[in-house]
Amino acid sequence: MEVVSAIAVVTLNKPLNLEHLQEFILDSVLQKTNISCLKYRLQPENRYIVFYKTGKFLITGRNVLDEKDSIVERVMKLIKASGIEITVDNVKICNIVAKDSIYLSEPLDTIYERMEQKNSEYEPEQFPALIYKKWNVTFLIFQTGSIIITGAKDIESLQQGL
């Protein structure tokens, strides 16, 4: 199994002034739509960071599981360099996406018929994968044997599903 991406949510001890933060974080983009946020690419890894005025920010990327502490430390230095005194209350992984492959001895429609119907759906005219949901994790199973797993909050949840 290979982890493709992960998202960490960092909760700070107070709200953020996004306009103020944008002045100090070069190349950041303030988005003022339904949900105001400040988008930024942390270099050199090109990590995608999204700040919210509620006092949270997201970190996304391939190695977030292994590097989240050092990424949070670097982002906090950026925030503090803008003159904002703030601390981290919590860091939580909220989604892990992984891929794997298995050998399928039968077509997906046969496998689907044997599965718990309430937890699965398969409509090949609309989407080429069998969708199976269990343990708050979604598995997309393709006829080639490729599997995409999303929604896990930890590696154990990923492995439990396989």
Low-confidence ranges of the chain (pLDDT < 50): none
Whole-number pLDDT of residue 156: 83
Looking at residue 161, what is its pLDDT?
66
* Sign of the four-CA dihedral 31, 37, 38, 40: negative
pLDDT in tens, 113-138: 998 888 999 999 999 999 999 888 99
**Domains along the sequence of the chain with CATH:** 7-93 (3.30.310.10), 102-161 (3.30.310.10)
Question: pTM score, two decimals?
Answer: 0.86
Burial (CB count <10 Å: 0-12, 13-18, 19+), residue 96: buried
Rounded to whole angstroms, what are the CA distances from 115 to 7, 101, 105, 111?
30, 19, 15, 6
